[in-house]
Structure 1
Amino acid sequence: MPRLFRVSARTGRESKMAWQDFLAALALMLVFEGILPFLNPGRFRNMLRMLNEMDDRLVRRIGLVSMIAGLGLLYLVR
């Protein structure tokens, strides 16, 4: 069973750790997402314009590759 859903019968400690891991990952994602707009807002706007002009299929492929790369990295780390 995935770690997120496992709960210790006595304390629920494993569940608490899973939520802490999830929130830590979410916090890191927000930090990484904010680096480019903070350091170079003009470049960030240009990237958003380019993304807006891309075909939906290409954007989906980019998202799929990103998710697969993230899952692969997570597998290697965990």
Structure 2
Amino acid sequence: MKSWLFSSFGLMLILEGLMPLFFPEGWRNTFRKMITMKGGQIRFMGLISFSLGLIFLFLGR
């Protein structure tokens, strides 16, 4: 269980790091746009991201 959890967390960090590594200006602009969004919009984006993650997790099993 622990190895699966650490592997998943490591993969998430790798994927999260790709945008600022290869496209730092695009990453910065994205965060500028997110600052102007309302809380509900950010929550909706989080829900979509969470849902897609669950779908990918179940498809990968």
- Relative to the length of structure 2, the TM-score reads 0.93
Report the counterpart of residue 52 of structure 1 in structure 2: 35
Q: Which of structure 1's runs of 4+ aligned residues deviate more than 6 A?
A: none
Residue 65 (structure 1) shift = 1.0
Quote the Cα distance in structure 2 between the aligned partners of 1:67 and 1:40.
23
Provide structure 2 residue ranges, at least 5 long, that are not aligned to the other structure: none
Identity rate, percent: 33
Work out the CA distance in 1 between the residues paired with 2:59 and 2:18.
25
Superposed displacement of residue 77, structure 1:
1.5
Separation in 2 of the partners of 1:40 and 1:74?
26
Counterparts of 2:54 and 2:23, CA distance in 1: 28
| TM-aligned CA deviation for residue 40 of structure 1 | 1.3
Structure having the higher Rg: 1
How many residue pairs match? The answer is 61
Q: Which residue of 2 aligns with 1:74?
A: 57
Shift of 1:76: 1.6
Supply the AA of the counterpart residue of 2:9.
L
Q: What do you get for the CA RMSD once the two structures are aligned?
A: 0.8
36, 55, 62: which one aligns with 2:45: 62
Query: Deviation of residue 69 (structure 1)?
Result: 1.1
